[in-house]
Amino acid sequence: MRRFAFVLVIAALLMPAVALAGSTVPEVIAKFKEKDPRVAKAFRTAYGYVVFPTVGKGGIGIGGAHGKGEVYEQGKQIGTSTLNQVTVGFQLGGQAYSEVIFFKDKTATDDFKRGNFELSAQASAVALNARAAGDLPYNKGVAIATMAKGGLMYEASVGGQKLSYKPIEVDAKK
């Protein structure tokens, strides 16, 4: 029974990501800017950001999420990132979403680049809203925006996101 539940969790986690994995980072950035003026402003003013085009999430009691993204500093790609999340609590289903994490200044960006960056369960993401005005809410130099892509998930769970950072290899001959 445990093995069946594990396979079901993995399938729920991967199905939305596989079905919607075609989004590119530039497409996701354009959609985020179009959907919410606060996010469009954050792309202009944040020192750095990470874009995860597709994060697949699923669970039955115990759940998880995974996504791969690109890291930008002052508008230039400087690396890649992986998002992993484990959650515990009442949850059932699977979904896919896009996520952007903004770093307000150099200090917050450098903290992320040092690696093993974690967002606590208390970190809250802003769902996009075309009628929203003002600025994204930053907490300790970090703001998070998400946009649903598909799936259905019922959830009352606790868990944090763990993010990795890998710099782009620069060819020394150039």
Give all strands (DSSP E) within 36-141, no chain letters.
Answer: 48-73, 76-103, 117-119, 126-127
Query: Is residue 12 one of the residues assigned to a domain?
Result: yes
Selected residue with higher pLDDT from 49 and 143:
49
- Tens digits of residue pLDDT in 110-149: 999 997 577 765 455 666 665 666 778 888 899 988 888 8
Q: Which domain holds residue 108?
A: 2-167
- Percent of the residues in the chain that have a pLDDT greater than 90, as a whole number: 42
Q: What is the DSSP string of 111-132?
A: HHHTS-EEE-TT--PEEP-TT-
Q: What is the DSSP string of 147-158?
A: EEEEEEEEEEEE
Most confident of 7-16, 75-84, 124-133, 164-173: 75-84
Confidence band of 18 (pLDDT split at 50, 70, 90): very low
Query: Is residue 53 one of the residues assigned to a domain?
Result: yes
Most confident of 11-20, 55-64, 73-82: 73-82
Query: Is residue 115 one of the residues assigned to a domain?
Result: yes
Q: Please answer whether residues 59 and 87 qualify as being in contact, where contact means their C-beta atoms are separated by less than 8 angstroms.
A: yes
The SS3 of residue 85 is strand
Query: Is residue 125 one of the residues assigned to a domain?
Result: yes
Query: Is residue 172 one of the residues assigned to a domain?
Result: no
- To the question of pTM greater than 0.85 for the whole model, the response is no
Total domains in the fold of the chain = 1
Query: Is residue 174 one of the residues assigned to a domain?
Result: no
Strands 76-103 and 48-73, bridge-based pairing: antiparallel
Report residue 81 as tokens: 């990132």
- Mean pLDDT for 40-60 is 94
